[in-house]
Structure formats: C-alpha cells, structure tokens
Amino acid sequence: MSRCVIISACPVSASLASALRPGDTIIACDAGYRNCAPLHCRPDIIVGDFDTAPCPAQEGDDTIILPHVKDDTDTEYAAKLASEKGFDEALLLGVLGGRRLEHTLANLCTGLGLEQRGVRATLLDERSRITFVMPGETRRYPKDEYFYLSVFPMEGRAEGVSERGSFYELTDAVLTAGYPLGVSNEYAEGSDCITISTQKGALVVVETVPDGPILS
C-alpha cells in the first residue's frame, strides 16, 4: 500500500519518528513543516496559507500556497490532495492536542473524510492512536502497547455495533452522541484482540496507553 504522512502544527516529540516508514510521502501543513526536524524527515510537499509560520524557501520542495480566505483547513487540503494522488493510507501527525481544541475536532472530521474517500486514516500522538470503523466493516485491534480502547459514533449515531474480546462486550448495540457508552473499554482477561464492527454509522476508535503500570 502507498502511504502519505500528513504533518500538522501541533507539537510532536521525536518518539513519533518510529511511526515513519521508508517510502512514505511527507506532506507538511503550514507550520507543520517545523515538525519535520524532530521527526527526522524532509517534506516532499508543503501546503498552507502560512498564517502561523513564514513560507519556507527550500529548493526542490513542492510548495503549494493557499489563500487565507478558504473553506478547507490546511490539513483538510492536504488530505484531499492525498486522496487525489491515489494514496491508500494516510498517517496524520501533529493533529491532536495543541492550544486550539477546534482544530483537533476538525482533524477528526478530516480523518473520517479520508475514510469516506477510500483512504485508510490513522491519527497518532505520543499516547493515543485514532482510527475509524466504517459501516459494514469489521476491524481487528490486536493487543500491543495500548490498554484503553474507546468507541464513539462519529456521525452522531451508530447502529448494530458489536465488540468482541473486550471487558465490556457489545452485541448489536446503538451508540449515540448524547451518551458515551463506548468510553474506556479494556481487553478481556486472556484476550489478545478486540474486534469492532458497525452496521450503520461510522465509529471513531481511540486507543490509549495506560497512565502507569497495569496491576494484574
């Protein structure tokens, strides 16, 4: 699969460099190009209106200057560009946290939009990994460094939701935006994989590392 990495402006640590693969196409969004240094990578494409950082002048970079007045965020433009270029997968870094919560929410919408266009999207920071389960799909979540697993209805309501291998299992459940039933689940004792499916309505899945040592 061909993959692009979209790097936005929320602070990142060098530990996320391990998520990069040889052959990734790096798309930096506006001030996100500054995150390329701690990630030890170089942008192949830079996009943005450069309202938060000066436009870099680096020979050989493919730089796309966007207007200040526009409907798309810089990250959304990069996501649409990734879709147009035919990438199968997109990893989004520097899109969670920061000082503006609305951008984190917007980036969740961008991730869903990528999935709806057929691009598998993952949003990643130092503690969490965010992915999506689309209607009619079943996804597997093998146990690794993550401990908590939360599921929310990305489109406000999801029906026919099932979770297997988790401490709190669901069968043909309905999840709504008004009640966070799917928050803070865990792997069942002896389980090494959780499977999640939905029949109607997209889900956003948040995997989070534990705050400290897990007591058995």
**Residue 7 in domain:** yes
Domain boundary (92, 126, 160) is at 126
Distance CA 204, CA 150 (A): 8
Residues 28 and 117 in one domain: yes
Residues 9 and 96 in one domain: yes
Residues 147 and 77 in one domain: no
Angle at the Cα of 115 from the Cα atoms of 95 and 171, rounded to 5 degrees: 105
Residue 191: name the closest of 171, 163, 215 by CA.
163
**pLDDT score for 85:** 95
Residues 72 and 41 in one domain: yes
Q: Which domain holds residue 46?
A: 3-126
**Residue 168 in domain:** yes
Count of structural domains within the chain: 2
* pLDDT per residue of the chain (216 residues) written in tens, 0 to 9: 699 999 999 999 999 999 999 999 999 998 899 999 999 999 999 998 777 776 776 555 588 887 778 888 899 999 999 999 999 999 999 999 988 899 999 999 999 999 999 999 999 999 999 999 999 999 999 998 999 999 999 999 999 999 999 999 999 999 999 999 999 999 999 999 999 999 999 999 999 998 865 544
Residues 122 and 136 in one domain: no
**Residue 96 in domain:** yes
Q: State percent of the chain over pLDDT 70.
A: 94
**108 close to 8: Cβ distance less than 8 angstroms:** no
Residues 65 and 11 in one domain: yes
pTM: 0.92
Domain boundary (97, 126, 155) is at 126
The CATH number covering residue 201 comes to 2.60.120.320
- 139 - beta bridge partners? 196
**Residue 68 in domain:** yes
